[in-house]
Chain A
């Protein structure tokens, strides 16, 4: 099995806003190996989230190729892309994006509804995921009854419950206090090291980026710097 999981070649994304043509990502080449923990940094509008969304399959490139696990995902139909996301991607949002009318348990169960699993299998997986992120005792709580840190842990449980190969995280600590942020980062490091998850994380915080084993800097849609972070 090739160590390269994600291959971006000449990746570009443009869109039109009125008469203006916006190019958040321009001719980007990037390889990400299996088990990498990559931090994407750069000023606002540099294309970090656009790159993350393209890799997560929730946006489509307007140029170049994007191959993930040997699949050229920009060529997939909308339905096939949805199925691919369901199997391969766990997405962690900055603002958690839990469904407010569902309990923590039901939120984590949501992605599993798309898989052919019995109710019991779903229960086992949800319980495992919630225990892994340390909020098993909050499973019956609604998002409004949880702290920000707890909400993000539930969101991480939702992202990993289907056991995806890739976890993408868009500023996962951006809305958290220092202690909660540290706990979330510790969790992501564990997922990367103990469960071999490939993680791509957008962050503005160099402290968070330091947890990654590689950091990319983007500016005006182009990769300007790439380096290995200090090992932990």
Chain B
């Protein structure tokens, strides 16, 4: 630890070479922007795809189909699914997206039966508008908060995408990334409006089960029910369904962790270089401090604190910038009608700061050790 009375000395040393310090801070800031962004991507993916023991929703999709445009099943399947023991409720959904590929601005329409809208959005909070308003109009939509913010639409306005115009009847907030990024509309309206498919055809069924422990068993029972039908099914827990649908994207995001580690290595290299140069420039000054009675360990801690301060400043800039961009950009990654939020949470700033401080300390260890061990008289002779 270091007494606070040394802080002015440390800060003056950080500002000793302004150009060098600013460039180092900017480098660290860019690296931490990358790191925090990658972390936000990974948190979003993890949240959307990790199967938990509490999950109660199954998604029934057309077997061997991977896109909402090609998964087509008769909505009469709903009655048969509802008859399977353990099933609590079944909601047929038609899904229309403006972009089947991976995109940061995909608009997903989910058509659900009018009588199911309250249950499907049951866990969500209505931020503005109302379900009553949604029920009053045939072309109404309940829009997820993230999608509404990204598209800049408010209640009473029109949301247009994929050739479909809907009236925004409400904006909802949900902990489920899927609900945050979709517009719920009336199933009949969507079936009538969409170019492909028609009455009686849906994309998937969302099935709620009573006991989460029975999720795999019920999924198997559903698939068995339709195994010999013309449209066989593939049923998975919702998170596993998202993971499969967004498999390529998940892999890409998984790869991005190396970018995050690379960014950290960049921080180490930048800070290490800056501190090594700084220590080399101050061999004589450190010898003077030790002549005054500063112990080698204290010199080392001062150097480490200087490095940590430099990195923290850069880390704060980068982490805050990334947080602001991700938070206000309301990004979500969507593919095949599934969504994963880019989760910019305040904890990421704390993580970013802790990591930069750690990297600063690590980067300074060798120069600090070297400075603390150098003989005083040799240091005076060396310059």
Binding site for B on A (CB under 8 A): 50, 53, 56, 58-59, 78-79, 82-83, 85-87, 89, 91, 93, 97, 99-102, 106, 110-111, 113-114, 119, 158, 162
Shortest Cβ gap from A83 to chain B (Å): 7
Q: Which of chain B's residues 1-40 have a Cβ closer than 8 Å to chain A?
A: 3, 5-6, 8-9, 12-13, 15-16
Please state if B16 and A111 are interface contacts (CB–CB under 8 Å): no
Whether B296 sits at the interface, judged by CB under 8 Å, is: yes
Say yes or no: A53-B294 contact (C-beta < 8 A), given A97-B284, A97-B288: no
Known: A59-B375, A93-B288, A114-B292. 8 other contacts (CB 8 A): A58-B376, A82-B290, A82-B296, A85-B291, A97-B285, A106-B8, A110-B292, A158-B292
B163 contact set on A, CB distance < 8 A:
none
Please state if B288 and A82 are interface contacts (CB–CB under 8 Å): no
Please state if A99 and B290 are interface contacts (CB–CB under 8 Å): no
Of A78, A101, A102, A111, the residue contacting B292 (CB under 8 A) is A111
Bitwise, B268-297 to A at CB < 8 A (1) or not (0) is 000000000000000011011111111111
Shortest Cβ gap from B239 to chain A (Å): 55
Residue contacts A-B, CB under 8 angstroms, 14 given: A58-B290, A59-B376, A82-B293, A82-B294, A83-B295, A87-B293, A89-B291, A97-B284, A97-B285, A101-B13, A102-B12, A110-B289, A114-B294, A114-B298
Whether B160 sits at the interface, judged by CB under 8 Å, is: no
- By size class, the interface of chain B is 20 to 34
Shortest Cβ gap from B325 to chain A (Å): 35
Binding site for A on B (CB under 8 A): 3, 5-6, 8-9, 12-13, 15-16, 284-285, 287-298, 375-377
The closest CB in chain B to the CB of A99 belongs to B285
Please state if B293 and A86 are interface contacts (CB–CB under 8 Å): yes
B288 contact set on A, CB distance < 8 A:
93, 97, 99
Shortest Cβ gap from B12 to chain A (Å): 4
Please state if B296 and A113 are interface contacts (CB–CB under 8 Å): no
Of B293, B298, B375, the residue contacting A111 (CB under 8 A) is B293
Shortest Cβ gap from A49 to chain B (Å): 9
A106 contact set on B, CB distance < 8 A:
8-9, 12
Please state if B292 and A59 are interface contacts (CB–CB under 8 Å): no
Please state if B377 and A59 are interface contacts (CB–CB under 8 Å): yes
Please state if B291 and A58 are interface contacts (CB–CB under 8 Å): yes
A99 contact set on B, CB distance < 8 A:
285, 288
